[in-house]
Amino acid sequence: MIGSHVWVEDPDDAWLDGEVIEINGEEIKVKCTAKTVVAKTSNSYPKDPEFPECGVDDMTKLAYLHEPGVLQNLKCRYDANEIYTYTGGILIAINPFKRLPHLYDIQVMQKYKGAALGELSPHPFAVADSAYRQMINEGISQAILVSGESGAGKTESTKMLMRYLAYMGGRVSNAEERSVEQKVLESNPVLEAFGNAKTVRNNNSSRFGKFVEIQFDQRGRISGAAIRTYLLERSRVCQVSDPERNYHCFYMLCSARKEDVEKYKLGNPRTFHYLNQSNCIELDALNDSEEYIATRRAMDVVGISEEEQDAIFRVVAAILHLGNVEFSKGQETDASEPKNDKSRFHLKTAAELFMCDEKSLEESLCKRVFVTRDETITKALDPNAAALSRDALAKIVYSKLFDWLVEKINVAIGQDKESKFLIGVLDIYGFESFKTNSFEQFCINLTNEKLQQHFNQHVFKMEQEEYEREAIDWSYIEFVDNQDILDLIEKKPGGIIALLDEACMFPRSTHETFAQKLYQTFKDHKRFSKPKLSRTDFTIYHYAGDVTYQTELFLDKNKDYVVPEHQALLAASKCSFVSSLFPPLPEESSKSSKFSSIGSGFKLQLQSLLETLSSTEPHYVRCVKPNNALKPAIFENNNVLQQLRCGGVMEAIRISCAGFPSRKLFHEFIDRFVILAPEVRNKSGKKDDIAACKKILEKSNLTGYQIGKTKVFLRAGQMAELDGQRGEILGRSATKIQRRACTYMCRKKFVLLKSSATQIQAFCRGQMTRHLYEGMRREAASLKIQKYARRFLKRKAYNNLRFSAISIQASLRALSARNELRSRKRTVAATVIQTHCRRKLANLRYRRLKEAALIIQCAVRGSNAFGELVKLRMAAKETGALQDAKDKLEKQVKELTSSLQLEKKLRVGLFLITLLEVDEFITFPYILK
């Protein structure tokens, strides 16, 4: 319809959404954001107008379930850092390529503990929890299969699953002895150092498959564990393409502490042929010297002794030196010998490190011994063959070393043979299709075909078989069965592996003859083809896509036999560790064919793995790599879609939604959901069971379910719906029980508190009364004391006052007596003084009077004399008798005054002068003489 919104296919972006602007018969024109696209109506899908902004956490909840809808959902969740999404029971994990620590901390684990799958956001913890609970509740072993292409995040997801299982089933370990789960988790760095390498697809790619089996005891506690590894990529030891790296341990050892580097005669990794074939030596995010220390620490933890560690790294160093031994033509025809001194040095060092004989090492590389019925022939190898022999030795030693490590870790962890259940976690390489695909890809893809079949069987095939068995009404759901591909590869006789083994056993076979044989045998097989332009390649139409394999190295890589010369050489090593890697072969196998097939061995390993898996309840985690740049926040639609298709996720969604993904046996169903219709309880018999199930389903208002012969079949989401209703009722009941329990407990507490309170009160009151009484007593006592004190004080004050009064009186009396005495004395004294004074005054007056009388007398006499004098003077003057008169006067004055004091003399003088107006000049000299 014009104006409606649809999804249309696009070669670049897989799916584009836009508005229909034109319809021409079978074709529609759609206006998308960046361009206008013309597409077939059949290739377009309607867009959900009410698509939730943050998507849905389970694809089966999508209203419009189609490829673009799934993609849109994953993309919008990925953009919001929601990297996990369910597809029914499958967990899709999209690699965030950035750390999201908040998703994995201990609080998150606590949250997921016991929560039903789907109750919380999708998470590996939820998958692990569901597996753990199923194991405990139903007593069935579980398996969690983690798959995805290289770099999709399988190993990281596996670590999360293991951490959660360790959290749930872990024991409290003491400080000295580490628990099983700790040992399992701590063995990771060792396995990663020796089994991981940088590839184009992943900087820390596991180059081996891993199945960790965690064993539990009856009580659900971890009691043991075992690690099984699959098909380590051996060729990497001697062949590295740019920009990849060899196994991490080689670079770590070259960056080890100085004394180790010197001990193993190592140095710059670029000087070693096995490392310098690629330009990539260092990794940004990986510090090799720190990793070396971490690896040694992890080795300590898993119980690898110091001597063993030394031997392990000696072997690693020996491999590097071995790789530097080059060969040139020897003196004999077709013979070879170490090329130069440098090669000889490395050969000698390798022999020293392996602790074997140098000459024997050289011979084991440059010669082959053939034992025929009649004689033993020694054949020299040409330089090329010698180099191949050298590489074969390096590879076999490394792979034996890796196997030894795995075995050692297993011994250190310890298995519980008595264990009742297990949870296996499978972290195995995903489907691979490169430009050149060799034997490794062939084996890896076989694994994925096998696992896909397991998945098919579980999700689809068993589903359909069950529907038929249960005789329920279902429309036939087609699914892609890959049994024919498995037959093509592993059928015995006649499958590709069988033909390869055959070719390996015929000395004259080459990869060309092998390819021809394949073409002949499978020319009509619909899953096999011969590429037109190639004479030795073959293509298999795998479930996940077509892969063309190059057969060149198939024969070599399939041969898993230790060259007897190498075996003999290293078995004779003086180092017990090295010789233990090559224990003597049993008589039989050394006599019979030296060949054993890696392909067949691997096939058997897979068979055993699948047997284990089929005895477990599987859970699936599909890891998806959103881009090839290994960068965060880039979501490449085409890339993701391809992986979803390969992982069978799209098919699973389709089937899951179309069929009945949830089912339960009647009694299980009733046990679980009887709470929804309690009235059906206590009825027995099959008929009753069916009626009870129907009743429960009716009451829960579900439609579209089916009742089989023994089970109830539910459509996608219905189990969750029932669980939700059950949860609600249980929740309500729990609240009721809680309420009762709370009331009971509160009451009990209350009564206890009340009686305690009464007791306390009584006690307090008693105490208080006593205190009061004592207080009062104390008060009374204090009043008495006060009274006495007051009395005492009053008395004391009275006494003081009395005493003071007496003393004052006494002192006053004394004072007045004294004063009286004094006044009397003073009166007497005054009288005496008065008398004395009067006497003195009288005396004085008398004297003065006397003096005055005298003076007056004098004066009178003087004036008389003076008068006489004046008369005399005048007479003298007249008579001349003045002088006589004068003398006379003077004499008289002298006489008069001589007895006088100076003052009186002066007064007389003055008197004379003033009264008598005597010339002072005359008077004074006389007077004063």
Ligand X SMILES: Nc1ncnc2c1ncn2[C@@H]1O[C@H](COP(=O)(O)OP(=O)(O)OP(=O)(O)O)[C@@H](O)[C@H]1O
Q: Which residues bind ligand X (CB under 6 A)?
A: 95-97, 99-100, 148, 150-156, 202, 204-206, 429, 623
Closer CB to ligand X, 96 or 727, in the complex: 96
- The number of angstroms, rounded, from the C-alpha of 182 to the middle of its chain's C-alpha atoms is 16
Among residues 87, 147, 206, 897, the one annotated as catalytic is: 206
Per DSSP, the residues of 615-643 read TSEEEEEEEE---TT--TT---HHHHHHH
Side chain identity, residue 439: F
Tell whether residue 154 is among the known ligand binding residues: yes
CA separation for the pair 551, 512 (Å, rounded): 8
Residues whose CB falls within 8 Å of the CB of residue 584, separated by 6 or more in sequence, listed in order? 571
Residue 28, H or E segment: strand 27-32
How is residue 924 written in tokens? 């004074």
DSSP annotation of 539: E
228 has which bridge partners?
211
Distances (CA, A) of 689 to 674, 695, 721: 11, 10, 21
Is 701 tagged catalytic?
Answer: no
Walk across the sheet containing 537-542 and list its strands.
528-529, 537-542, 545-550
In angstroms, the first-to-last Cα distance of the chain is 175
Q: C-beta of 442: minimal distance to ligand X in Å?
A: 17
DSSP strand pairing (142-147 vs 421-427) = parallel
Per DSSP, the residues of 600-614 read HHHHHHHHHHHHHHH
Q: C-beta of 630: minimal distance to ligand X in Å?
A: 7
Per DSSP, the residues of 399-446 read HHHHHHHHHHHHHHH---TT-SEEEEEEE-------SS--HHHHHHHH
CA separation for the pair 558, 497 (Å, rounded): 9
Closer CB to ligand X, 156 or 689, in the complex: 156
Count Cβ atoms within 10 A of the Cβ of residue 909 and give its class: 0-12 exposed, 13-18 middle, 19 or more buried: buried
Place of tokens 């009484």: 773
Tell whether residue 929 is among the known ligand binding residues: no
Tell whether residue 150 is among the known ligand binding residues: yes
Among residues 60, 85, 95, 155, the one annotated as catalytic is: 155
Tell whether residue 862 is among the known ligand binding residues: no
Closer CB to ligand X, 291 or 391, in the complex: 291
Among residues 44, 188, 199, 202, the one annotated as catalytic is: 202
DSSP-based three-state secondary structure for 549: strand
Walk across the sheet containing 14-24 and list its strands.
36-40, 27-32, 14-24, 5-10, 44-46
Closer CB to ligand X, 154 or 542, in the complex: 154
Place of tokens 């095939």: 461
Is 202 tagged catalytic?
Answer: yes
Distances (CA, A) of 512 to 438, 494, 500: 14, 18, 12
Does the N-terminal peptide bond of residue 189 adopt cis geometry, omega within 30 degrees of 0? Answer: no
Is 278 tagged catalytic?
Answer: no
Q: C-beta of 102: minimal distance to ligand X in Å?
A: 11
Contact 170, 178 (CB under 8 A): no
Contact 463, 658 (CB under 8 A): no
Tell whether residue 659 is among the known ligand binding residues: no
Tell whether residue 731 is among the known ligand binding residues: no
Q: Which long-range contacts (CB under 8 A, 24 or more apart) does 217-221 make?
A: 217/416, 217/418, 217/419, 217/420, 218/420, 220/132, 220/135, 220/136, 220/168, 220/169, 221/169, 221/170, 221/171
Among residues 147, 205, 364, 548, the one annotated as catalytic is: 205
Q: C-beta of 259: minimal distance to ligand X in Å?
A: 31
Is 593 tagged catalytic?
Answer: no
Among residues 55, 69, 169, 430, the one annotated as catalytic is: 430
Closer CB to ligand X, 78 or 467, in the complex: 78
Is 895 tagged catalytic?
Answer: no
Closer CB to ligand X, 159 or 694, in the complex: 159
Closer CB to ligand X, 427 or 723, in the complex: 427
Q: C-beta of 312: minimal distance to ligand X in Å?
A: 22
Closer CB to ligand X, 95 or 223, in the complex: 95
Contact 20, 30 (CB under 8 A): yes
3-state helix, strand, coil in the chain (%, to 5): 60, 15, 30
How is residue 66 written in tokens? 């189609």
Closer CB to ligand X, 20 or 152, in the complex: 152
Residues whose CB falls within 8 Å of the CB of residue 241, separated by 6 or more in sequence, listed in order? 277, 278
Residue 377, H or E segment: strand 376-380
Tell whether residue 794 is among the known ligand binding residues: no
Q: C-beta of 52: minimal distance to ligand X in Å?
A: 24
Closer CB to ligand X, 196 or 605, in the complex: 196
CA separation for the pair 550, 554 (Å, rounded): 8
Is 24 tagged catalytic?
Answer: no
Closer CB to ligand X, 99 or 435, in the complex: 99
Tell whether residue 199 is among the known ligand binding residues: no
Count Cβ atoms within 10 A of the Cβ of residue 799 and give its class: 0-12 exposed, 13-18 middle, 19 or more buried: exposed
Q: C-beta of 146: minimal distance to ligand X in Å?
A: 8
DSSP-based three-state secondary structure for 94: strand
CA separation for the pair 528, 519 (Å, rounded): 9
Is 151 tagged catalytic?
Answer: yes
Is 432 tagged catalytic?
Answer: yes
Q: C-beta of 119: minimal distance to ligand X in Å?
A: 21
Among residues 95, 150, 447, 558, the one annotated as catalytic is: 150
CA separation for the pair 649, 61 (Å, rounded): 15
Q: C-beta of 626: minimal distance to ligand X in Å?
A: 10
Per DSSP, the residues of 687-742 read HHHHHHHHHHHHHTT--S-EE-SSEEEE-TTHHHHHHHHHHHHHHHHHHHHHHHHH
Closer CB to ligand X, 153 or 495, in the complex: 153
Q: C-beta of 596: minimal distance to ligand X in Å?
A: 27
Among residues 67, 186, 233, 432, the one annotated as catalytic is: 432
Q: C-beta of 372: minimal distance to ligand X in Å?
A: 46
Residues in the annotated binding site for ATP: 148-155
Query: Which residues belong to the annotated binding site?
Result: 148-155
Catalytic residues: 150-151, 155, 202, 205-206, 430, 432
